[in-house]
Structure 1
Amino acid sequence: MTFLLYISACLLLLVSFAHSYLGERYILIRLFKRDNLPKLFGNDDFTKRTLRFAWHLTSVTWVGFAAILLALAEPNLNKAKVLYIIAVTFAIHFIVALVGSKAKHLSWMLFAVVSILSAVAANS
């Protein structure tokens, strides 16, 4: 079973990096050249930033799942370690959403709370 978890984690890492790189290069860049994106807050900057950070957060999530799979591969499951992985994953979500949207997309608040609560739960 451990070997299967390692393979799964490696596949998630591979697809994560491919998703971010190829999506940026072949989808997002081309999409952002269009002139018919929704204009929120006066222009299409918010739309572009939201699409970009949401796209890359998918990849961050897959890296977090890969880390959880690696934790599950350990002989003695450490729940605190899994909670820390979740806390770090959502801390990255928080930073990406905050910076990526210039704090306009309010998801950063939720991600920060999830990160903090997961870290506190790990210490309980």
Structure 2
Amino acid sequence: MLYIGAFLLVFIGCVHSFLGEKYILQRLFKRGNLPKLFGGTGFTKNTLRFAWHLTTLAWFGFAAILVYLANPDNHLLSISEIISVTFLAHSLVALFASKGKHLSWIVFLLVSVFVFIA
């Protein structure tokens, strides 16, 4: 049952990212009334895009935890390491998508490091 849950999380994450990009984000970005931050709409678009896709990354992290819980003796990573890696991925996406302007990458990195150390 846990493997089925993990599969469904990966599946819905992929569908969420693909369909959200195609049918929500692209249509939203064509509107002329997006907030202009840092001199234009680029920062706004990038923030909306990476925030949308961070949801998918979180679901992938939960899927990895479910796989771990299904058989905790056959895994290389612990649950805390899975969480640490998930937030490291969040940090990298936020850092590169925003070119460092959206400071959430720092918080995600700190979460990753602190959970790993713990």
State the secondary structure of the residue aligned to 2:78. helix
Q: How many residues align?
A: 117
Corresponding position of 2:97 = 100
Call closer, same or farther: CA 1:37–1:75 in 2, change over 3 Å.
closer
Once residues 92 and 98 of structure 1 are traced to their aligned partners in structure 2, the CA distance between those partners, rounded to angstroms, is 10
Aligned to 1:85: 82
SS at match of 1:103: coil
2:30 to 24, 33, 36: 33
Instruction: Give 5+ residue unaligned stretches, structure 1.
Output: none
Structure-1-length-normalised TM-score: 0.89
Q: What SS class does the counterpart of residue 55 from structure 1 fall into? A: helix
TM-score where L is the length of structure 2: 0.94
Q: Residues 19-42 of structure 1, C-alpha deviation per residue, up to 9 Å, x if partnerless?
A: 001111111111111110011111
1:48-97 CA deviation, whole Å, 9 max, x = no partner?
A: 0000000000000000000000111115598x611110111001000000
Q: State the match for 2:55 in structure 1.
A: 58
CA distance change for structure 1 residues 75 and 117 in 2, over 3 Å: closer, same or farther?
A: closer
Sequence identity of aligned pairs in percent? 58
Structure 2 residue runs of 5 or longer lacking an equivalent are: none
User: Using the alignment, how far apart are the partners of 1:56 and 1:33 within structure 2?
Assistant: 19
Tell me what 1:67 maps to.
64
